[in-house]
């Protein structure tokens, strides 16, 4: 049985001076396979990833590990414990409004620096050199005078330092009310076939502050820069945001399914030497990020959501009805919303009350079978 070790890492301090810490669990591989970093619950209400890490730990104890695996539940101790009414208000810093998953650092500037020094190195030496630079640059930001870092940046950088040490990075999230879906960098499309996740969003090489992007963008940049020089250098790191379903929900049986899906992918990547976890024979649909359609509430009102999540909508289908009881006699009290194109409904807003302009739905459009 593999040994699991635990460490508590400090990511900040709260107003009464107490440290904010996160638990880090580690299993050691035999060194022959890639290393893995998995975190969960960066957004406070997105708790199912903690259950998936639980289910992973329960299985990883008994598997043959080629690479090291680091797992971080409760990645954000502020978001995790911020209540407002019954719900967890953990999507953004309650003081500043900044999304906790938009504060990772963009290390793309290191690419030219690395190529200047190590552009002639072998692939493996180049990977080692660049990884070292990413880790050191992250460390340097953390070591800057304490008064130069925001609360969220300090948490993000501490996690990012762990992530840069790995070849594979999985950031476990959920939508509000949501079907399972996967954010996958375009170059890693093939890997998406090994997750048991029917909906795959293919994202381009653009940094927008999230953990997955912070992990893969520098490597993709490096690869592109070398390709421009005529050298074929595969992207050395794969990183995904795994959207496990709905927030504010723990389902331990489903967590086992989600863990199996991740183990299937890790088996494919030869992190796990046992062949017991294989992908399910499900249909997978892909959609380019530019075709991921956000549908905002065209009016204020009370919403009945009608599009089934994961369901394939035909152009003209009713996706929602909006009830407005303020002017029952003089205005139409019930409005039917329709989408003008075929789509898959991926997620919808968590509440039935919406202002005009609230994000109501997200849809895959122009999707295709993967």
- 349 is a site residue for a second copy (CB under 8 A): yes
Rounded to whole angstroms, the Cα distance separating 225 from 239 reads: 19
Q: To the nearest whole angstrom, how small is the minimum distance from the Cβ of residue 176 to a second copy?
A: 6
Short-list 291, 311, 290, CA closest to 367:
291
Please identify, using beta-carbon distances, which residue of 257 and 359 lies nearer to a second copy: 359
Q: What number of chain residues touch a second copy (CB under 8 A)?
A: 95
Rounded to whole angstroms, the Cα distance separating 247 from 349 reads: 11
For β-strands 318-323 and 334-338, DSSP reports them as: antiparallel
Q: For a second copy, which stretch binds (CB under 8 A), given 87-95, 109-117, 284-292, 307-315?
A: 87-95
- In the shown chain, the binding pattern of residues 55 to 84 toward a second copy, with x for contact by CB under 8 A and - for none, equals --x---------------xx--xx-xxxxx
- What is the rounded end-to-end Cα distance, in angstroms, of the chain? 37
- In the shown chain, the binding pattern of residues 231 to 270 toward a second copy, with x for contact by CB under 8 A and - for none, equals -----------------xxxxx------------------
Residues 146-165 that bind a second copy (CB under 8 A): 146-154
Beta carbons within 8 Å of 8's beta carbon, 6+ residues apart? 21, 22, 23, 24
Q: For a second copy, which stretch binds (CB under 8 A), given 127-135, 236-244, 261-269, 356-364?
A: 356-364
Per CB under 8 A, the list member of 65, 192, 197, 354 interacting with a second copy is 354
Q: For a second copy, which stretch binds (CB under 8 A), given 19-27, 62-70, 215-223, 231-239?
A: 19-27
- 11 in Cβ contact with 47 (< 8 Å): no
Going from the C-alpha of 205 to that of each of 32, 197, 240, 246, 290, the distances in angstroms are 29, 22, 13, 27, 12
Q: To the nearest whole angstrom, how small is the minimum distance from the Cβ of residue 74 to a second copy?
A: 5
Residue owning tokens 């107490």: 18
Per CB under 8 A, the list member of 120, 232, 275, 327 interacting with a second copy is 327
Per CB under 8 A, the list member of 109, 140, 289, 325 interacting with a second copy is 325
Q: To the nearest whole angstrom, how small is the minimum distance from the Cβ of residue 120 to a second copy?
A: 37
Q: To the nearest whole angstrom, how small is the minimum distance from the Cβ of residue 182 to a second copy?
A: 22
- 308 is a site residue for a second copy (CB under 8 A): no
Going from the C-alpha of 117 to that of each of 110, 120, 122, the distances in angstroms are 11, 8, 12
Please identify, using beta-carbon distances, which residue of 236 and 345 lies nearer to a second copy: 345
* Token digits of residue 161: 């330092």
Rounded to whole angstroms, the Cα distance separating 232 from 166 reads: 22
- Render 104-156 in DSSP notation, one character per residue: ----TTHHHHHHHHHTTS-HHHHHHHHHHHHHHHHHHHHHS-GGG--HHHHHH
Per CB under 8 A, the list member of 64, 128, 165, 358 interacting with a second copy is 358
Residue owning tokens 């290393």: 35
- 53 is a site residue for a second copy (CB under 8 A): yes
- 350 is a site residue for a second copy (CB under 8 A): yes
- 86 is a site residue for a second copy (CB under 8 A): yes
């Amino acid at each position: 049985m593999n040994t699991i070790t635990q460490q508590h890492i400090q990511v900040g301090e709260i107003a009464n001076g107490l440290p904010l810490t996160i638990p880090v669990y580690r299993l050691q591989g035999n060194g022959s396979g890639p290393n893995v970093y998995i975190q969960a619950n960066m957004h406070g209400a997105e708790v199912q990833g903690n259950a998936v890490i639980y289910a992973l730990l329960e299985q990883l104890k008994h598997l043959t590990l080629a690479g090291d695996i680091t797992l971080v539940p409760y990645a954000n101790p502020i978001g995790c414990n911020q209540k407002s009414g019954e719900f967890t208000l953990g999507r953004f810093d309650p003081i500043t409004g900044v999304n906790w998953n938009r504060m990772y650092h963009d290390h793309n500037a290191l690419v030219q620096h690395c190529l200047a020094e190590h552009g002639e190195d072998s692939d493996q030496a180049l990977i080692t050199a660049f990884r070292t630079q990413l880790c050191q640059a992250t460390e340097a930001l953390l070591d800057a005078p304490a008064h130069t870092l925001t609360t969220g940046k300090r948490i993000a950088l501490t996690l990012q330092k762990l992530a840069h040490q790995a070849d594979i990075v999985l950031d476990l999230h959920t939508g509000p009310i949501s079907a399972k879906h996967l954010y996958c960098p375009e170059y890693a499309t093939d890997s998406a076939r090994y997750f048991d996740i029917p909906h795959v969003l293919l994202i381009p090489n653009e940094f927008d502050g999230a953990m997955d992007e912070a992990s893969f963008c520098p490597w993709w940049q490096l690869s592109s820069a070398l390709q421009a020089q005529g050298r074929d250098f595969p992207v050395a790191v794969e990183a995904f945001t795994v959207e496990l379903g709905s927030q504010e929900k723990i389902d331990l049986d489903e967590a086992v399914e989600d863990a199996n899906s991740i183990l299937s992918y890790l088996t494919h990547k030869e992190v796990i030497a046992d062949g017991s976890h294989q992908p399910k024979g499900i249909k997978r649909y892909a959609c380019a990020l530019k075709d991921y359609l956000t549908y905002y509430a065209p009016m204020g009102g009370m919403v009945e959501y009608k599009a089934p999540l994961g369901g394939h909508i035909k152009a003209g289908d009713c996706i929602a009805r909006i009830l407005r009881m303020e002017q029952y006699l003089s205005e139409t009290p019930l409005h039917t919303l329709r989408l003008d194109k075929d789509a898959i409904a991926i997620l919808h807003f968590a509440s039935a009350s919406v202002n005009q302009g609230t994000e109501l739905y997200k849809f895959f459009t122009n999707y295709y079978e993967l």
